[in-house]
Amino acid sequence: MAPVSRCCFVCSRCWQAPRGTVPDRVQRRATGLFRSGCWYPAYTPKRQWSAPEQQAPTVLRVMANEVERALDDLTFRIGSQPQDGAGAPALVISAPAIASGDERAYMAISCIQAISRLQLIARRPIEASWVKVRLSGEGWSTRETSWQVMENGQVLDAGRGLPAIEQIRKLIGAQRIEVVSDHGEVDGLTFDAQGLDPLISRARSTCRW
């Protein structure tokens, strides 16, 4: 049987395997796929993330949660992911921005180690330490606050624990969420919030607030 080359787009190493077989780690859902960075035609993500992107824990969690999303589905989805050690599974809620193209931006609400987080994943790294952000919708708005640029520069964090909870509460009942910011990379991002309320309820239960 003729061998076929399969490549890892993170480490750029290739190996030989019999045609028609797929390494077990390629078949794993979400976390295994992105951590291994294993490339195989039938299992290739719609976007191959760069090594710096893959080294960002928040990006990994969101991409793991997004791996089975249909192209025409822009609503928030929820998933749980195992954590290192004996901690409780991480709960992740995420959605892509409407009309953000092939390189999508995301909003993520999560409960990790019993701490609530509200974050934006930008399409490209941001060359700043802090970005002013306000979330708004029909008849509601959060206060403008400074979100910290973290990890590989694509992750904007509203603050963990109470600062995140204060803003997540404002999203309850929203049909659409618009980002207003002093940075063009995230200013104007819009998210479909239909069906988000029950997902927030699960996050509240998990993080006990």
Kindly indicate the confidence band of residue 85, based on its pLDDT and cuts at 50, 70 and 90.
low
Q: Any residues with CB less than 8 A from the CB of 98 and at least 6 apart, and which?
A: 74, 190, 191, 192
Nearest-CA neighbor of 151 among 35, 63, 52, 30? 52
Domain boundaries, the chain: 1-44, 55-207
Q: What is the pLDDT of residues 170-208, one digit of tens each?
A: 999 999 999 999 999 999 999 999 999 999 999 999 999
For residue 151, the SS3 value is: coil
Which DSSP letter does residue 89 get?
Answer: P
Quickly name the fold that domain 55-207 has: Immunoglobulin-like (2.60.40)
In the chain, the percentage of residues whose pLDDT exceeds 90 is: 61
CA 161, 188, 45, 10 torsion-angle sign: negative
